[in-house]
Structure 1
Amino acid sequence: MPYLHSIDPIALQFPEFSVLGTTFHPAVHWYGVMYLLGFGIAWWLGRRRIRAGRLPGIDEAAFGDLLFYGMLGVILGGRLGYILFYDFPTYLHDPVQALRIWEGGMSFHGGLIGVVVAAWLWARRHRLHLFDVIDFVAPLVPPGLGLGRLGNFINGELWGKYTDGPWGVVFPHAESQLSGLGAAQLQAMQAGGALDRYARHPSPLYQAVLEGLVLFVAVWWFSSKPRPRYAVAGLFALLYGVFRFLVEFVRLPDPQLGYLAFGWLTMGQVLSLPLVAAGLYWLWLSRRSPVAAP
């Protein structure tokens, strides 16, 4: 029997209040909590690497500045990337919607560009090679990616194609026939097996495992010993690009874009191909690059 998705995306709801005739409903969303946890884990892991001398000449205070730069890069780059890559007409019509990040709509590829820009600015300030900084940061990223995908699952978004596997999940908001039904009615239908045909691949969970857990274990293990410049960044980019490209085969494309070509190519795959190419190129460059020994 498939799992019926009924998770409340709001972790904590505060009493509503009105200001100048406008009513506000303040709340803490699980999606935002996942981002905070991701940054917290990056801070903890980064301090461990700083203490181990993995970024020579940099202390914990300077790393704190780098993390702040990175947080801005993730949020601004991720949001702008989603707007530009996935849904520019909608945000052009309603620019205020760009501020509603708790509703989802963050692009990894945009966030990656934001982090690279932030790392470049920070590296210039400290007179470091950009890729020494990126190699240092790369192992800190996967936990945040995995938690972000858990946030997507809690929000009941980014669902996949239909499946008859026992791991399938029914996302009521994905089906026009189910979106207006109450919780009790949905549970009764599930008990009777009427929802089995609506089961979908829980693609956010696939990504949480691959882009979060597997990517973290691989990159953290690889970076546990001094590696040549470009190597850690290359492995991260290559694995992420491959994982994302594969999961896109069972994940539905964004409805406003659909498939871009061949009846299967998605925007996520198009944006991941340059990462695969860059990862291979950086690994090739690392063969003759210096090793930043602690």
Structure 2
Amino acid sequence: MTRDTPARSTFILTLDCPNRPGIVAGISTRLFELGANIADAQQYDDTGQDRFFMRVVFDIAAADGLAGRLEAEIGALAAQFAMRWTLSDTARPARVLLLVSKFDHCLVDLLYRWRIGELAIAPVGIVSNHPRTLHADVDFHGIPFHHLPVTPQTRAAQEEEIWQLVQSTGTELVVLARYMQILSDGLARKLAGRCINIHHSFLPGFKGARPYHQAFERGVKLIGATAHYVTGDLDEGPIIEQDVERISHADTPEDLIRKGRDIERRVLARAVRIHVERRALPNGRKTVVFGH
């Protein structure tokens, strides 16, 4: 870009709506009329549900009040097609609250990827039910740390503190980076579609506690990890990303845990990236995940 080239802003539009003719034409025409250039567009027809999904990346001449004008124009089109939609400015990283318990390998990996610019996130806080001394070797890079211990008797009050943090920091995504506490139905509903958990198992198998030990007892040949959106149903939220690794009869439960840590951090990082790039669209109990 030269000094005389007008600055341009890049946005991501995602939408889903009942399937009908004219949706793609309506979107592309409206963006053309606004002076936008479509850089990438992906779509999916769920024929079983008769529902249409789309993700569009476009750039447009930067201007004061641009986001508001785009929202008004796209909102009018959305009403015509009964769309659920989001519009994101790629220049603004997602505000993320990170929750962790004893195991911090996923947290450390996310912080590293954020620090080198691989993840477009802005960490606004780290919450743990354990004291900061447990993570004394981890550099939090000045991110505020909140020790919020929890017991069965104090769970409601502790979750209210988490919710207050979400609101006060403008959190857009909560990441359970091996946060080994089950969120209540109430908090899960408040965070619907914006809370990601990493489960140290290839769901739907081996749900709940000690999944690697469960896998060892069954003599599995593959272990894996699953990143999913949190719902009130334990470990049954819409899946965003998964991965596996082959093991053998010679592997002990400790070997499975060691290998599993590497899978967990990779899968969670990919899921966070998918979410902040608006590539995961909810579809009932499933997700539509557009290409990398």
TM-score (norm 1): 0.23
- Structure with the larger strand share: 2
- Structure with the larger helix share: 1
| Highest RCO, 1 vs 2 (Cα 8 Å, sep ≥ 6) | 1
TM-score (norm 2): 0.23
